[in-house]
Amino acid sequence: MITNANSQHSDNLADRAASSADNAIRSTQSAVNGALDHLAGNVQDLRHQASPMLDRATMQASALAQRGVDSMRSTSQHLRDSARHTSDNTKGYIRDEPIKAVLIAAATGAVLMALLNLLGHSRSRP
């Protein structure tokens, strides 16, 4: 009879230990689920906060790129206009003063040839 009582007592202790382990597992699962829910909420909050910042940064980068393109177009147009104006002035000067224009061109050519010859000789010397 003592053996039977000890056996029942052991079974009772094992049942209580198993029940305790089940309760601990359920409690741990509940705590983990709560932590994961909290973490998911934080991630969602961060996503909502970051989205407008990313949109704003994208718009600012796009506006900056557009200003750069507009500036390049303006500068390019200004250079074209300036080159056209210079060309028109040069043609007008040649038409109005053909002898002076030929003399200036010849003098410029002579100076350039002298510079090229001078550079050629200085390179050929060791």
Mean pLDDT, rounded, of the chain: 85
Whether residue 101 contacts residue 93, with contact meaning beta carbons closer than 8 Å, is answered with: yes
Mean pLDDT score, 92-120: 92
Structural domain that includes position 87: 2-124
**Over 70: is that where the pLDDT of 6 sits?**
no
The pTM score is 0.44
Confidence bin at 83 (pLDDT 50/70/90): very high
The Cα 124–Cα 78 span in angstroms is 43
pLDDT given at position 91: 92
Q: Which range has highest mean pLDDT (32-46, 51-65, 101-115)?
A: 101-115
pLDDT given at position 87: 92
CA nearest to 38, candidates 30, 27, 48: 30
Distances (CA, A) of 76 to 65, 71, 81, 96: 16, 8, 9, 30
Domain count, the chain: 1
Mean pLDDT score, 31-37: 85
pLDDT in tens, 38-63: 888 888 888 888 788 888 888 999 99
pLDDT given at position 11: 72
Pairwise pLDDT comparison (11 vs 24), residue with the higher score:
24
